[in-house]
Structures are given as structure tokens and as C-alpha cells.
Structure 1
Amino acid sequence: MTERSAVFDAEAGPDSPNLDVRRSHPPIDRVFDVLAARRQVVDCLARRGETVAFESLVTSVAATRMDIEPVALSEADRESTRHALHHSHLPKLVDKGIVEFDRETETVAPGPRLGIVAASLEAVEELTPQ
């Protein structure tokens, strides 16, 4: 059964014909939640179009997030990003089929949904004022 919540007109009561019933968490909201802090991973893999070493992804994401050159990253910057990717970001992206993470070889590859997600993010960015 789908979870639902009621949204009412400002002047309407619960018995009003203007009752608007919507799902409380539409699927698109869950997708954007997953992508909110993970856009750099999607961007990196979409740009490269191939499997990347986990440590290379760590460097790319950390440098992009901090808006600095990779050579300027401290080990603390890398460790913080490494931890976030390993324990939070990658598992959620894997769960949605956006990336594939091989823990044994420490590599990250595009998943079956990476292309559509990257294209969607690009479309959103085009609509965003600079």
C-alpha cells in the first residue's frame, strides 16, 4: 500500500472537494535525495565512461568538492571523502543501479542507470541560473 498524505487548500477543510491527495515521498524525491551529495561521482564516471580506481575517484571527488587542484589535497581531505564514499555514497548509488563498486578490486564502474541519471543532472544544471 502506498503511503499517502493529504494536502489542503489554505481555505479548504478536510471535507472540501479541493482535497489534493499525493504520495508523501514520490520516487523522484528519493532519487534526488540519493544524488544530492553524490553528483561528483556521477559526473566523474560519466565523463570518463569507464571503470575507475576507487582512490582515483576519491581524489577527483575531493578536489571537485573543495574546488582545489588534486595536488593541494591533504590526507585528511582524502580520508574524509574516502570514508563518505565507502560507507554512504557508493552503497546508495549501487542500490539504485547508478554505479557498480567492486570491493575486491577497489574499482567503481558505470551502472546500468548512470547514463540516464547523468543526462537528467545535466538537464537540471542547464535550467539553473549561473
Structure 2
Amino acid sequence: MMRSNLWAMVGCLGLGLLAASCPPAVAAPRHEDDADAPASTGTELIAFEAPGCRYCPVFRRDVAPGYPATRAGRMAPLRFVDINASAAAALKLARPITMVPTVVLVRDGVEIGRIDGYVGRDNMLHILNTLLPRDGLVD
């Protein structure tokens, strides 16, 4: 048992170092983890994270840099929220967040769709495109 805990810690350290070595996104996504965060209006994609999450750094590496240039990114800007922050409690979610990362598509602070867990960049964008209205924007 001690050995498996050691490998889990090594894995977390490796992902943390990998995330730290990745170049930042051109337009850095917002991260709201303070109580004074402004209320959101319009449509946005909120990525919920938590300390110790193994796939949150992978999501940031794989999705965040190119997201603003996609159809979904133009229609719903990406914002990161720590699951433990007060900003998370202010949103009107259909159900609690049970895993991270989870992305929630919101309009005027109300959930209109979500993707639980990290499903990969291409799958996530495909699902988001089915959740967003068709308005002539294409990738």
C-alpha cells in the first residue's frame, strides 16, 4: 500500500512539473478564486478545478491555449474556477460538481450544459458544438 501511495505522489509531481513547463496560452484564461469576482453575464464556459486534480493541468495544456480560436471559444469564453472558491457557489448549477475537471456551459450564470471529467480536446469541442446554438460560426 505504501508503494502505491509513493507512485501516486510521483505521478502528481510529474504532472505538476509537466504543467509548469508548458508555455502559457496567448490570451490567458481568467481564473476566479476570490470572493470579489464579478458576476458573469452572457455565455461562457467555466472549467472547475481543484487542488490535487491530476487532469486539470492536462486540460490546461491541451485545451486552453487553442480554445479562443475555436467556434466554441468565440461563443463562450473560457474561465477557470476553483471548486472550493466562493465564485463556484454563486452559479446556478443543475447539480453539484462531482469530479474535476468539469466544464459547465452557462448563460447569464445559469447552467445550460456540462461535460464531466476530461474527455480530450477533440471530444470536448465536438460536445460543446452540439450544446451551442448554430449561428453560422464554423471552425
Scaled by the length of structure 2, what TM-score is found? 0.27
More helix by share: 1
Tell me which protein shows more strand as a share of its residues. Answer: 2
Looking at CA atoms only, which structure, 1 or 2, has the larger radius of gyration? 1
